[in-house]
Structure formats: structure tokens, C-alpha cells
Structure 1
Amino acid sequence: MKIEIISKNCIKPSSPTPHHLQFFKLSDQHRRSSDFHSNLTFFYPAHNIINGVDPTTNFVIKSNRLQQSLSQTLTSYYPFAGRFQNDEIIICNDDGILFIEAQIDTPICDFLNHPDLMSNTHKQLVLTSINSIDADADAGKTMETSIISKGYMILVKFILFSCGGTVIGISMTHKLADLASMATFLRNWSASCRLDSNNILPDLHFIGQTIPDPGPNNSSAPTSSGYKFSQSCTKEYICKRLSFSASKIEQLKSKVIDVLEKSEEDDQYSKPSRVDVVVALIWKSAMHAAASKSRDQEQNQKFRPSTMLYSVNIRPRLDPPLTEACIGNLACQFLMMVEKESEMELHELVKKLGAMKHYADKMGKKFQGDDQQVVVEEIITNVEKERNDFFMKNHKKNAIFYFCTSFFRFSLLEIDFGWGKPVLVTSPSTSEKHLVNTIVLMDSKVDGGIEAELNLWEEEMSVFECNEELLQFAIVNPNII
């Protein structure tokens, strides 16, 4: 599959940012955050045609609407159109974000009906600050170099398939915003694009503070958050989609609840959520796949400890809770660990997930104060310290790390730019530095269902996707349409 670049545009806010807002200082937890890009792709089918015109003209109309409404939306999200001066300060100078038009010479149905093809190539549908893209002939260098030098906070790619279907790929720096902020931005942008008269932008609150001009010599060295997890990507990893129907999830829940109710332990986790049981099954199946490959390579190693970092949105856990208008990176990673083989049982993993969520709720209520930004900082700093202390204490145990994030309740399948809702939303991993063993959960198009994306080493994925217990409840790489 070859993507041809049609045009590249820099979209600036429709109104200039006032002078008193032009220097924005990040909060401490944002300064410590890694500067990687979070990615989302939205697939819109060919039947979403405006005014019945031909696909190319239709694409031009849509693209113009996207760019105009994006410019209008950026006026309220002015830090998104700025540039980092250093690791601490954003200059909100309206330099803009990158918008690329592209086309593919195949119909979108060919792409969506071949899940293996999609798993291996759909990372080409988004831009990041580090992935390799078509050469920039005018500049005589790769697009990769151009993007890095210009420091875009947001990168958008609008792609036309030969049938008229389209994809919107968006990439946003995680240093400035988490998924909740990204979803709020997308809802506001899409409402503006479809000319929704009821769309009233909320009074946004950016985590950080506006400051006077710090001067050209101001600098700030990156602040260490303690233990740094890194993972070599010398091997190939592969992405697969998993689909869990509502009925299968209920069967899985019943299976877990039966075991929990028969145990004589505390019954506070006897009613797990549908997310809990799905994550537990994926985690268990992935650990079994890793253990299987370990047995192949090292006959004496039948089990390796496992640690999962679970990303939690702390906004709703505060008292009072923060609203979606609070823009920033407020996702906190809580951890769970499997230290012995008996803890790999499904109900044991569900209990760990329940305990983790209970602890996250407790942390949200532990810190109180009138200044909620200070409260947020205290929570994240406390959790980071506990996590780093844990890593320092347990790093010699050679544990396998897994990472899980949930896109539930963000209504991504409702993002309508004026030509209908997407048939699919994905979160492709595009960077070779992106951590393998990542689980991303999303709402299903069918009520009550769950979709999951999973990255594993290629040899482990071949074992994982044949797991008999997993296949009782999930479909691996199902067709989309």
C-alpha cells in the first residue's frame, strides 16, 4: 500500500493569541512526561459523500471544512499551536499545526476487510515526530527531519481512498495532553466542522500557568522522574485486534464470578466490571505466550514475573471531580505485579485489577485542597514515587512489563465531522521506541462489546492468538465491514 502526499499545510489559529497568554509554563508532572505522540485514526466509509459529487471533489470540500474549523478551534486551544521553548515553557506564538492531504489507490473496503494487512500497515495513516515518511523533495530532506525541526504539537493526516472513503489520522504530543484532552479537542473540532449551532466551547483550563516573557536565555534541563523503563526493539512486534461481544463478556464474567464466590476470601471483588475480565484474560494469555517462548529458549525458566502499568484518568476520581474542560496530561499509571505462577489464574488477575482501581479511587480522595492543580500534582507525584520505589526494589526480578490504557467513555465512535460517524477507530503504534506489550481498549460499534488492540513480539503473538481459552471469548483480527 502506497500513500501519495497531495499537499502539506500549516494551520494557524483563526484569531491571534493575546500577548498576555503567549508564554505558558508546564506543571511539574507535564515537564516530567515523555514527549511521545499519541495516535488515533478514524475510518469513514465511502457512502459518506457530500452532495453526491465525485470522490475527488468531495474530498476537497471535506478537507477545506476540516482546515477551516481546525483553525477556528485552535483559537481556544492556543497552546496546541505553539512550540516548546525548552522542557518547561511553551511559546504560544500561533506557529500552527501540520495538516497533510494524501491519497491511496485502493478502496477502503480492501483495507478494512483484510485485518492482517491493516495491522501491519495502518501505522502509515498517521504522522508522528519520529516516523519516516515520504521525502520532502523541495527541502531535499525527509519529512521526518522537517517535522522534528518545526516542533508541531499536533499532526493531522487526511487520506482519500480510491472509492471515496476517508481516514483522519491525528497525532498529539503526550507531554501536553492525555487521551481525555485529545477526545475533548476532537469533539470540539468535529462540532465546529459540521456547523453545529449548539456547539459552545467550554471555558478551558490548561494545567500549568501563564507567565511573563521568560527571555531568550531561559532554559530548563529535563527533570528526571526516577526509574526509567526501556525496552529494546531489536525484534519485530506485531499488532492484532481483539473483539469481545457483549454476550461473550457476560459468559467470561460469570466464569470469574463463580470462582470468586466459591472462595472464602473477601468478596469485595466478586462483581468485576466487563473491562476487568477482558483485561485479565488478555494479560493471562499474553503471559502464557511469553512463558511458552521462554520454555522453548530456556528449559529451566518456566515462569517470569509480570508487571502491568495501567493508565487511569484521575479527573473523575477527585472530590469534586475535574471536568473534561481541564486540558492536560492527567493520566496516572498504577501498577500491579504477578510474582508467582499461581497468580496467573483469571480470578486472581481480576482481584488485582479491582484492588488497583480501589487504590486509585483512594488516592483521588486522599489529597484535598482549594487549588485542584496542586492536588493533581500531589497525587501524581505520590504515585510516581511509589512506582519508582517499586521499580528500584524489584528491577532484578527480570519481570515482563505490560501496559494498558482504556479509551472507554470518550465517545470516539461518535466523532462526526459532518459526513457521518466512523466505522472504526484505532490507535496505531508508529514508533520503534513505542513499548511492546501494550493493550489499548476501545468501545465496540455493537452495544456492550469491547475492542482491544495488542502489540506483542511476533513469536509470542503466534502463540497468543492460538490460546484456546482466549478464543472461547474473543475473535482475533475480525473483518470490519
Structure 2
Amino acid sequence: MNVQVEVISKEIIKPSSPTPNPLRHYKLPFLDQLTPPSYTSLVFFYEFNGETQPAINEVSKHLKKSLAKGIAYLEAQVTNCRLCDFLNNPLPDELNKFIPFAQDGHIANEIALGVQLNMFEGGFAIGLCTSHKLADLLCMLMFTKTWAAIARDEVEIQRPQFVSATLFPPKGITCYNWGAGITTKKVTKRFVFDASTIEDLREKYTGLQNNEKQPSPVEALSAFMWRRFVGATKDDHDDKNKLHSLIHSVDLRPLIDPPLSPYSFGNIYGNSLTAPFLSSGDDDDGDQESSYGMVRRVQEAISKIDKDFVKRLQHGDEQLSLIGRPACSKC
């Protein structure tokens, strides 16, 4: 279904009070400098349950009050789809219509946060965008929890801790060019696995590898999905030793000495890269680079993002390796 969403209003919510002087200027840490100017987004769906339905103007008023800090706020009407129909088959590409900005928009350097209220027949959805230049996904979840607490008028509010620039001081990276990125068409698919299926995969891969360490749900699913992707996209003329890559983001907060609070603000994460050569065999039991072999490689790659990695990153040993020379040569 091609969901039609019509934006009916746009505004900037005025700050309810002046910004305190210590928070007027935010120094970008080194890790934030390396992050592309894009948006991280979430969409929350609220379906009316047949009881008394809140007036949508009251929902909007409540949102504006809780967000009265100077952010972009949009309201939109979904004209051809009930909320229950969309939730029965949520198409990933359609979700972008429920957020206020394009995820790869250049304004991510200018507007830090935006909210869009989408009104359906039978409910509503709240789309949220935060600038990836300032915050990672954990920060976004932290903001969402704090925002909900403020909306509920709670007294105890967890506030962000701005310590990242002290741990990862900014560097002179004036030549880093984010213009060169993915130019081919991107495809998004949605797959749903229940808890029992994931546990079966974890047990299977542990037994096949004779591995004492059971793979995490992410490790097991990553290997399973990636192996199937390779099998589905290969053809008879492909190089049998074709190189593929798999990237996982790892939270660095618990790896820093001493460990940081989960409320520490910034892009405090590292990326692990798994690049296994996969042969063309389809039989998991006979192919040594099949799914369970990939689990081992994924575990090894993620394990390299450890406390020693963080120390090297803080001391500068890993910093130049994170700055691609080809990108610098294009500036």
C-alpha cells in the first residue's frame, strides 16, 4: 500500500526558558566529528483501544508543552490508511513518511531535533528525528525516555551527561568529505523472528562449533541472515571467493575506564567489521564458511572492540585509521 501522508502544519516550538550559559555551546567530540550529517529516527504507534479516544488537538497540545525547547514540530494527516491496516503489514519504506526530515538530509548540521504527529483513522503515530551528528541511538532512546517522563510530569528526571568531548577531544578534520557515500539504490526488508526461533539458532550454532560461548541473539541472527543473503544473491558466474562485509555497532560506554553512565551524551560507539570470504556451498554441514563459521568470525570481530581499543582511541592510535585517506584526498 502506498500510504498518503499530507503535512498540514509546520512550526518551531519556542523555548520555554533561556538556555543556560554552560549549555549554549556544544563542542563536538572526535567521534561526533566522524559521524555523517544524517538523522536517526524512530516512529511510535498508538492505537485507540475502543475506550474514550483522546482529542487529537489535546494530544498535539500536550506534545508541544513537553517539547517547548525550540524544536521543529509538524502535524500530518494520513488520508488513505487506517492505523490497524498499516500495523498489519508495516512496510519499512513507508515509515519514512512519518518522520519530519529525510534521514540523509543536509539540514542535520542545522536542526538537531524534529517531531511529526501523524493522525490516522483509529490512532496516531509520533515520528522523531535526532541529528546523528550529535547523538547515537542509545542517546535517542535516552531522550525518548526522558521526554516521556517530562510529559508525565515526573519529578525525577535523568539528565544527559556531556562528558564525551573530555574523553575524545575534537581534532582538526577539516578535509573529511561526507559527499562520497552509497550511490546505488538501497533496499530495506523486514523479517520477524519469534524468541523460540532465535534461541534455536543460538543452540544450533553453539553445538556445530563446539563453542563454549553461546552466540548472542544479534550474533546468531546476523550470521543466519547474512548467509541467506549471500545464497540468494549469488549466481553461477560470481567469484567463489567473493568478499562481503558485515558491520556491527558496539557501545563503548561500559568499556571506558571507569565505565560511563548510559546517560552519557554523544556518538560513543565503535564499529566492528567482519569480512569473511564465503564459498558457494549451500550445505551448512559441509561448508566451513557457512553460518556457524560466520558466527565465530562475528564474535572475533566484536571482541576486538574492547577496553584496549578504547584506550588506543583516546590516545590517538586508532584515530587516523578511522579517517579514510580517500575521503581526505577528495576535499
Superposition TM-score, scaled by structure 2 size: 0.83
SS in 2 for 1:311: strand
Paired residue for 2:101? 128
Matches of 2:246 and 2:275, distance apart in 1: 6
How far did residue 251 of structure 1 move?
1.4
Structure 2 CA distance for partners of 1:10 and 1:150, relative to 1, 3 Å: farther
How far did residue 384 of structure 1 move?
5.1
Matches of 2:98 and 2:117, distance apart in 1: 8
| Residues paired across the two proteins, number | 311
Taking only the aligned residue pairs, the percentage that are identical comes to 27
How far did residue 151 of structure 1 move?
2.4
The answer to whether the Cα contact below 8 Å between 2:108 and 2:133 also exists between their aligned partners in 1 is no
How far did residue 22 of structure 1 move?
2.4
SS in 1 for 2:27: strand
Structure 2 CA distance for partners of 1:247 and 1:222, relative to 1, 3 Å: same
Paired residue for 1:157? 116
Q: Does 1:329 align with 2:272?
A: no
Residue of 58, 62, 65 corresponding to 2:59? 62
Matches of 1:229 and 1:347, distance apart in 2: 34
Paired residue for 1:246? 195
Alignment of 1:223-302 (within 5 A): 223-224=175-176, 230-233=181-184, 235=185, 237-261=186-210, 267=211, 270-292=213-235, 295=236, 299=237, 301-302=239-240
Paired residue for 1:15? 17
Paired residue for 1:167? 125
How far did residue 24 of structure 1 move?
2.6
Structure 2 CA distance for partners of 1:326 and 1:302, relative to 1, 3 Å: same
Alignment of 1:38-437 (within 5 A): 38-47=40-49, 52-53=52-53, 58-71=55-68, 74=69, 96-105=70-79, 106-115=81-90, 118-129=91-102, 148=107, 151-163=110-122, 165-197=123-155, 199-202=156-159, 204-208=161-165, 222-224=174-176, 230-233=181-184, 235=185, 237-261=186-210, 267=211, 270-292=213-235, 295=236, 299=237, 301-341=239-279, 344-363=289-308, 367=311, 377-378=314-315, 382-383=317-318, 385-386=320-321
SS in 2 for 1:183: helix
Per-residue CA deviation, residues 64-111 of structure 1 (Å, 9 max, x unaligned), is: 11111112xx4xxxxxxxxxxxxxxxxxxxxx3211011112210111
How far did residue 160 of structure 1 move?
0.8
Per-residue CA deviation, residues 285-311 of structure 1 (Å, 9 max, x unaligned), is: 12222324xx3xxx2534420112211
Asked which structure has the greater RCO (Cα within 8 Å, sep 6+), the reply is 1
Unaligned runs of 5+ in 1: 75-95, 132-143, 210-219, 262-266, 368-374, 393-481
SS in 2 for 1:326: coil
Superposition TM-score, scaled by structure 1 size: 0.58
Matches of 2:302 and 2:108, distance apart in 1: 40
Matches of 2:109 and 2:132, distance apart in 1: 17
Paired residue for 1:400? none
Paired residue for 2:283? none
SS in 1 for 2:239: coil
SS in 2 for 1:242: coil
Matches of 1:291 and 1:222, distance apart in 2: 40
The answer to whether the Cα contact below 8 Å between 1:39 and 1:169 also exists between their aligned partners in 2 is yes
The answer to whether the Cα contact below 8 Å between 1:204 and 1:327 also exists between their aligned partners in 2 is yes
